[in-house]
Structure 1
Amino acid sequence: MHFPVHKKIRVGFFIAFTVIVAASLFSYLVAKNLLDNAGRLNHAIEVSKRLEVISRQLKEAESAIRGYNLTSDSSFLNPSMQERSRRIENEYMQLRSLTADNPRQQRHLDTLRQLLLIKYRQLMMGGETATQDKQQSSVREGERSMDRIDHKVQQMVHIEETLVQEKSELFHFFSVLWVPVILISSLVAIMIGVYSYIILTREFRLQLHIENKMRSYQHDLQQNISLLNKTNQELEQFAYVASHDLQEPLRKISTFSDRLQMKYKEQLPPDAVQLLDRMVSAVSRMRVLINDLLIFSRAGRITPESFKPVDMNILLQEVLSDLEVTLEEKNVQITYDQLPLIEGSDTSFHQLFQNLLANAIKFAYPGRRLTIHIHHQILTGAELELKNEVLAQTAFCRIYIEDNGIGFDQAYAERIFQIFQRLHGISEYSGTGIGLAICKKITDSHNGYIHAYGYPDKGATFVVVLPLTQNRKNEEAGAG
């Protein structure tokens, strides 16, 4: 399965970003664990320090009492036992606050407080004058009380050391993984970065190659377009000149045949007269064909400078005026609605409508009055389902020319717009097969379209689609 380059790069950057985020998250956990471990270590040191201070001050107080009992020197009682007890109590309260988040230590502190209260009383009693037996008894009780306090202190210190050990093991676990994870994630990110750089470089070079090819193709296309335009001009000029050159021998043939008929028609046998009539008819058809070819060659000679807003209502009146005699002879009924202004060549539009109406008149259904109805719609290119973005926003006029003539089979809808294409024999309907080809050439030169819909024995509908305004963008889009 082939993935486009931009998708590969997008997936690569997503993986690299995910790896970097995962590495950053893991680094955060390591750093947080390190800070927690350092905090726990400081906390344990502080708790141990407070416990050591309490133990030391108790031992100092006990030593002072012993010295007093042995020497009766009151200086050993300075500071007093009350002051010493107050200092120990301050240390205890700080230790209580320090271990407030540890219920287990709080329970040990509750027990330690009971032991301290007992010790305070012993210190107070030890500072008083007593007999030797009483002093010895007090010393033994003090030693037992001090042993219990030391044991409790050791328990609390052991708890702090255990917590520090647990934190240290967790930190060691993270620290062991941290270096490989960071190394692997860095290598993955570097590999993805190098891969992306290689892909982007390759894509950039490919883009440059494509642009160079496009410039080359564009240059060749411009040359071909210029050559094609030149060839078209030469062909149009050839058709124009050839048609004019053909007119002269036709005139001579027509002149000689007329003289022959005038001077020798009575002397010629019937079959010769028939041949002469057929020759005159052929010359007439040839003259019509040459004139239509001239018109067809001129139909493509439309320049943007000749475009101007054309009032289609006035133009239609002019066309009907030109066809007035034929319309009366054929008893044709024409109805039409108000048409808009359309930018283009008025001469070409005149020829377009005249050919379409003449075509409808020529193919009228025998024995039925011919009716022609002309109406229109204003639509956008998007409504006409044009794919080009420029044309999709352009306003178009869709003109319908409907008749109730003989119609045609829809299978021939495209063929009738080709030059010299006829659906009926010359003996049935006159004509050269060029009229509708001229209509298509005119609509194409105006960036428009023409279609036909036939209904045998019922009629035909010709649809002409023309942009309301002509501009360079329309021409380029139509050419594309």
Structure 2
Amino acid sequence: MHFSVHKKIRLGFFIAFTVIVAASVFSYLVAKNLLDNAGRLNHAIEVSKKLEVITRQLKEAESAIRGYTLTRDSSFLDPSMQERSNRIEEEYLLLRKITADNPVQQHHLDTLRRLLTIKYQQLKVGGEESTQVKQLSSVKEGEKAMDLIDNKVRDMIRIEESLVQEKSELFHFFAVLWVPMILISSLVAILIGIYSYITLTREFKLQLHIESRMKSYQRDLQQNISLLNKTNQELEQFAYVASHDLQEPLRKISTFSDRLQTKYKEQLPPDATQLIDRMVSAVSRMRVLINDLLIFSRAGRITPESITPVNMNQLLQEVLSDLEVTLEEKNVQVKYDELPVIEGSDTSFHQLFQNLLANAIKFASPDRPLEINIHHQILTGKELAVVKESQQHDTFCRISIDDNGIGFEQAYAERIFLIFQRLHGISEYSGTGIGLAICKKIVDSHSGYIQAYGEPDKGATFVIILPLKQKLKTEDHEVWLKA
């Protein structure tokens, strides 16, 4: 399976993007776990510090009572046991607030509260005047209560340490995967970057080569266009001169044949008279052919100066007026829509419609009156399947000319637009076979399209597609021709 360069580059960038996203997500998880682990460690340290403060203050209070018991020095009771108890209470409340999200620790703190209450009572009693026996008993009870408090503190510290250990293990798991993941993703991203760089460099060099070749082709094309324009001008001059020069011997042949018939008509045998008639007919046909060739060479030749907005309704009425006699003789009925204004050569459009209507009249069916219907649609280039890609956004007028004449085989739809191509003999229908070729040349010169559809004995339809605005190409750029 072959992938184009653009598909490979897109696939490479997609893989690189996916790898980078995956690495980013994994890095986020690792960083989040690291922060959680650090937060848990700080939490454990803070809990341990608070417990240590409580334990230390209790032991200091207990040592003060022992010193007072032994020496009876009241300085050991400064600060007082009540003040010491208040400080311990403050630390306890802070500790309870810190561990508010841990039910197990809260339960331990409830137990610690009861032990501290007992200890507060012992400290209070120890600070009062009493007998030596009673004081010794209070000291023993204090030691026992302190052991219980130490055990509870150790339990709470173990819980914090176990939580820290769980977080550390999870962080270690992520850290073990994170380093290879980052390494692999970095290598993949580097390899994709190198491949993309090589591919883009190769594509860039290829593009430069193509552009160089295109510029060369454009220069050659411009030279060929200039040469073709020059050749066309020479051909037009040749056609004009040839037609003008050919007209002179034809006139002489026609004049001599007329004189021959007039002067020696009675003396000529019937065969000679018939030959002269055939010669005169051939001369007439030759004259028509030369004139049609001259018209064909000039057809479709438009310049920016000849482009104007053409009122197609008015133009169609002028064409019908020119064909009025023929239409009445053939009893032709013509129906047409209100046509829009189209930019183009007024003379060329007149010739276009006159040729198409004359063609319909010429090939009318002898079995029924001829009916011609002219309809139109305004469409965009995208809605038409025949326009070039550069014309996709242009607006077109699609004009259809339908008739119920003799029609033709659809297989000949392309052939009828070629010069000198006829579907019928000269004896059946007159003409030189240039009329529809002229129509195609006119439509092509206006950046339009012409199509033919026919069915024998049922009629024919000629479809003309013309842009509403003309766009002529100059050597340097394209300009819109506006009125």
TM range, smaller chain: 0.7 to 0.9
1:232-287: CA deviation from partner (whole Å, max 9, x where unpaired)? 22233323222222223223332333333333333333323322322222222222
1:413-442 deviation digits (Å, cap 9, x = unpaired): 332222212222222333222222223223
- Classify the secondary structure of the residue corresponding to 2:376: strand
Pair 473,79 (structure 1): closer, same or farther in 2 beyond 3 Å: same
Query: Where do residues 454-473 of structure 1 align in structure 2 (5 Å cutoff)?
Result: 454-472=454-472
Contact 1:331 1:369 in 2 (8 A): no
Pair 439,123 (structure 1): closer, same or farther in 2 beyond 3 Å: closer
CA distance in 1, matches of 2:149, 2:311: 117
How many angstroms does 1:185 deviate by? 2.6
- Residue 419 of structure 1 corresponds to which residue in structure 2? 419
Secondary structure of 1:244's counterpart equals helix
Q: Secondary structure at the match of 1:423?
A: coil
Change (3 A) 1:396 1:128: closer
In structure 1, the gaps of 5 or more residues are none
Question: Following TM superposition, by how much is the alpha carbon of 1:230 offset from its aligned partner in structure 2, in angstroms?
Answer: 2.3
Q: Following TM superposition, by how much is the alpha carbon of 1:447 offset from its aligned partner in structure 2, in angstroms?
A: 3.1
**Partner residue, 2:370:** 371
Distance verdict in 2 for CA 1:112–1:413, change over 3 Å: closer
For residues 359-413 of structure 1, the C-alpha deviation after alignment (integer angstroms, 9 at most, x for no partner) is: 34433444x57434353324234454454454653242615253x4433333323
Asked if the contact 1:339–1:375 (Cα under 8 Å) also holds between the matched residues in 2, the reply is no
Q: Distance in 2 between matches of 1:196 and 1:290?
A: 66
Q: 1:370 to 1:156 in 2, by over 3 A?
A: closer
* 1:468 Cα offset (Å): 4.4
| Structure 2 partner of 1:446 | 446
- The CA distance in 2 between the partners of 1:130 and 1:32, in whole Å, is 59
**Which string of whole-angstrom CA distances, capped at 9 and with x for unpartnered residues, describes residues 291-317 of structure 1?**
222222222433332233445555555
1:12 offset after TM fit, Å?
A: 3.1
State the 1:130 CA deviation: 4.8
Cα distance between partner residues in 1 of 2:113 and 2:452: 110
Partner of 1:396: 397
Please report the TM-score for the alignment, with normalisation by the length of structure 2. 0.84
Matched positions, count: 474
Distance, in Å, in 1 between the alignment partners of 2:448 and 2:454 is 20
Give the alignment of 1:18-37 within 5 angstroms.
18-37=18-37
1:62 aligns with 2:98: no
Shift, 1:60, TM fit = 3.2
For residue 372 of structure 2, what is the amino acid of its counterpart?
H
- Once the two structures are TM-superposed, the CA of residue 136 in structure 1 deviates from its matched residue by 4.2
Contact residue 379 and residue 398 of structure 1 kept, 8 A: no
CA 1:269 to 1:200, structure 2 compared with 1: closer, same or farther past 3 Å?
same
Match of 1:213 in 2: 213
Is the 1:453–1:462 contact (alpha carbons within 8 Å) kept by the matching residues of 2?
Answer: yes
Residue 115 of structure 2 is matched in structure 1 by 115
Matches within 5 A, 1:67-106: 67-106=67-106
Provide, for residues 102-150 of structure 1, a one-character-per-residue CA deviation record: whole Å limited to 9, x for no partner: 3222222322333333333333444455555444444433333333232
Show the 5 A alignment for 1:253-332. 253-312=253-312, 315-316=315-316, 318-320=318-320, 322-323=322-323, 326=326, 330-332=329-331
Question: What secondary structure sits across from 2:277 in the alignment?
Answer: helix
Q: Whole-Å Cα distance in 1 between the matches of residues 393 and 63 of structure 2? A: 106
The answer as to whether partners of 1:380 and 1:392 remain within 8 angstroms in 2 is: no
Question: Contact (CA 8 Å) 2:82, 2:124: kept in 1 or not?
Answer: yes
Asked if 1 retains the 8 angstrom alpha-carbon contact of 2:30 and 2:175, the reply is: yes
Structure 1 residues 446, 134: closer, same or farther in 2, change over 3 A? closer
* C-alpha distance in structure 2 between counterparts of 1:75 and 1:325, whole Å: 144
Query: Within 1, Cα distance between the matches of 2:97 and 2:330?
Result: 118
Residues 263, 102 of structure 1: alpha-carbon distance in 2 compared, 3 angstrom cutoff? closer
**Mapped contact 2:339–2:376 kept (Cα < 8 A):** no
Provide the residue aligned with 1:224 in structure 2.
224
Contact map agreement 2:361 2:370 (CA 8 A) in 1: no
SS at match of 1:379: strand
Within 5 Å, which residues of 2 pair with 1:115-194?
A: 115-128=115-128, 130-194=130-194
User: Does 2:435 align with 1:435?
Assistant: yes
Q: Could you tell me how far 1:339 is from its partner in structure 2?
A: 5.1
Separation in structure 2 between the aligned mates of residue 316 and residue 26 of structure 1, nearest angstrom: 77
Going from structure 1 to structure 2, the CA distance change for 1:128 and 1:431 (only over 3 Å counts) comes to closer
Does structure 2 retain, via aligned residues, the 8 Å contact 1:360–1:405? yes
State the AA in 2 paired with 1:147: D
Structure 1 residue 357 displacement after superposition: 3.9
**CA 1:134–1:230: 2 relative to 1, 3 Å:** same
Cα distance, 1:219 vs structure 2: 1.5
SS at 1:400 equivalent:
strand
**312-321 or 8-17, which deviates more:** 312-321
Name the CA distance, whole Å, in 2 between partners of 1:323 and 1:51. Answer: 117
- State how 1:336-375 maps to structure 2 within 5 Å: 336-337=335-336, 341-366=341-366, 370-375=369-374
Letter in 1 for 2:401: Y
* Distance of 2:11 and 2:372 partners within structure 1: 62
What TM-score, normalized to structure 1? 0.85
Counterparts in 2 of 1:78 and 1:306: CA distance versus 1, 3 Å: closer
In 1: Cα distance, 2:428 partner to 2:3 partner: 63
Offset at 1:325? 5.3
Opposite residue 102 of structure 1, the aligned amino acid is: N
Name 1:241's counterpart in structure 2: 241
CA distance in 2, matches of 1:191, 1:409: 64
3-state SS of paired residue (2:375): strand
